[in-house]
Amino acid sequence: MNPSLPSNSGGVEVEDLDCWYGGFQALHGVTTRFERGRITALVGPSGCGKTTLLRCLDRIHERNPAARTTGRIRIMDQDIFSPEVCVRELRRQVGMVFQRPNPLPLSIFDNVAFGLRIHGEAERLGRSGVAAAVETALRSVELWEAVKDRLLGPAANLSLEQQQRLCFARLLPLKPSVLLLDEPCSALDAASTEALEGLMRTLCPGRVVVLVTHSLAQARRVSDDTAYLLLGELVEQGPSEVLFQQPRDPRTANYLGGHYG
């Protein structure tokens, strides 16, 4: 065990993570930590392994039979590759939001209740408990006022920004401690992007938030920490204001200066 990664700090700790797709190595010895209560921006050129790293954190990469990893990942002090870990529980704790809003082809209400139902919690909560959890989640993402009179209408009728808010909302009843956001604003205009950035800050306290973004401006605006990934290698990571102003590694300086490739 690397002594630089104490095992009692909570958050997400990644140690010496390699990931291969067949014979192609996409991640090279990535060691990093994402802290609770902070937004970490993960930046780097297209194809550098940002999505791959996120997908390892909730073990979704295992759905690809060609994908293979070595190394360690601890989330809230638990080794996620340990045989005792229930992958369903892990995915409840680690929520993911994608580039394009992808609400289920269901009503607004059912989208948010879905997680509780598939995790067998709806029965325990009863109808009124589920309705309360749905309302709380929709209020948390500031969607309640806009949709409270059409909860049974299709989620697909919402605007793109509202659909993306819904995609955040549907994670919340499961009380995730980690939010993985894979370029969540890339389908949105500037005004919606700004609104969603505000939402990320609102949802951050008590949680680990990892924001993959191709926008350095966004990383600067919303993140506390920034990690720079290049060709599957974590080049540099630190508080965003330090990393953007005084990068230590010339490769980071190159990227931030717009000189990459």
Ligand X SMILES: Nc1ncnc2c1ncn2[C@@H]1O[C@H](COP(=O)(O)OP(=O)(O)O)[C@@H](O)[C@H]1O
Helix and strand counts by DSSP (H, E) for the chain: 10, 10
Cβ atoms 97, 155 nearer than 8 A: no
Q: How many CA atoms lie within 13 A of 119 on its CB side?
A: 22
Tell me the C-alpha distance between 196 and 198, whole Å: 5
**Does 52 sit near Mg ion (CB under 5 A)?**
no
Which of Mg ion, ligand X, none does residue 70 bind (CB under 5 to 8 Å by kind)?
Answer: none
**Any idea what DSSP says for residue 107?**
B
Which lies closer to Mg ion via its Cβ, residue 51 or residue 252? 51
Select 89 or 249, whichever has its Cβ closest to ligand X: 249
For ligand X, the closer of residues 50 and 170 by Cβ is 50
User: In this chain, which residue has its C-beta nearest to Mg ion?
Assistant: 51
Smallest distance, ligand X to C-beta of residue 134, A: 32
Query: Closest CB to ligand X among 21 and 260?
Result: 21
Q: How far is the CB of 116 from ligand X (least distance, A)?
A: 30
Q: Which is nearer to ligand X, 66 or 242 (by Cβ)?
A: 66
Q: Least Å distance between CB 160 and ligand X?
A: 21
Residue 51 contacts Mg ion per CB under 5 A: yes
> Minimum distance between the CB of residue 17 and ligand X, rounded to whole angstroms?
12
**CB contact set of 169 (below 8 Å; sequence gap of 6+):** 111, 112, 137, 138, 140, 141, 143
Give 67 or 85: the residue with its C-beta nearer to ligand X. 67
Least distance (Å) between residue 83 CB and ligand X: 25
CB 178 within 8 A of CB 93: yes
> What is the Cα–Cα distance from 162 to 44, expressed in whole angstroms?
28
Binding site for ligand X (CB under 6 A): 21, 24, 26, 44, 46-52, 64
- Is 163 among the residues that bind Mg ion (CB under 5 A)? no
Please, what's the b/e burial string for 150-170 (b: 16 or more CB within 10 A of its CB; e: otherwise)?
ebeeebeebeebbbbbbbbbb
Using CB under 5 A as the binding criterion, the count of chain residues that bind Mg ion stands at: 1
Residues that bind Mg ion (CB under 5 A): 51
